[in-house]
Amino acid sequence: MALNLTINTSNPPLGALLAAEHVKSSVQVSVEEGKDTRLQVSDAIQFNDTNSISRYLARVAPALGLYGANMMEQTEVDHWLEFSARRLCGQPGLAVALGELDKALSLRTFLVGHAITLADLSVWAALKGHGEWPSQGKSFSHVSRWFYFLSSQVPF
């Protein structure tokens, strides 16, 4: 089954593209440029927002564990998906959100569990796309450590 992901080139959905990059060994995803971001799954079902696309991609490649290993990890992944979409993307109060993120990362290598999940992908993508992030980096040492650690990995 080949999936077709259309992306809006003026506002590329970084999180969804990262998810697509991660699952490409198990699912075929072709990426096309277009006007709107869209993942067509069937005649009746298509997903237009980054979080839904990421969720779907994580679910078609369950072996990768991008959605967490159990119900509690899934819930944490859901938390971070919303956090990245609502608190980090172009919202005021970035410093407060970064403070919370810093606290969460103080004892962790990855945001959820002990491996990479959608949580890391979406939060990383939201920070990457945020104009204010690099200048704020110095005050949040745990976020910086985590951010540059992920940046050095191949798919990023």
Partner 1 sequence: MPMYQNGEVDPAVKALEARQDEIMRKLYELKAAVEGLAKTVTTPDADLDLTVSSSLSSQSLSSTTFKGAVTDLDTLLGKDLGALRDIVINANPAQPPLSLMVLHSLLCQRYRVLSTVHVHSSVTGVLPQLLSCLGPRHADSYARHMFQLGFTLIWKDVPKLQMKFSVQNMCPIEGEANVARFLFKLLAPYPSDPALATLVDSWVDTAFFQLAEGSAKERSAVLRALNSALGRNPWLAGPDLSLADIACYCCVLQSGSASSAPTNVQRWIKSCENLGHFSPAKLLLQ
Residues at the interface with partner 1 (CB under 8 A): 41-42, 44-45, 47, 49, 51-52, 55-56, 59-60, 70-72, 74-76, 78-79, 82-83, 86, 104
Identify whether the C-beta of residue 47 lies closer than 8 Å to the C-beta of residue 38. Answer: yes
Cα–Cα distance, 29 to 44 (Å, whole number): 19
Give min distance, CB of 4 to partner 1, in A: 14
CB closer to partner 1, 14 vs 77:
77
Give min distance, CB of 154 to partner 1, in A: 25
List CB contacts of 118: < 8 A, sequence separation 6 or more: 15, 19, 54, 55, 58, 66, 67, 77, 80, 81
Residue 50 tokens read as: 């980054």
CB closer to partner 1, 112 vs 138:
112
Give min distance, CB of 95 to partner 1, in A: 15
Cα–Cα distance, 68 to 78 (Å, whole number): 10
CB closer to partner 1, 7 vs 57:
57
CB closer to partner 1, 9 vs 46:
46
How far CA 7 is from CA of 4, 45, 78, 105, 137, in Å, comes to 10, 17, 23, 31, 29
Give min distance, CB of 72 to partner 1, in A: 5
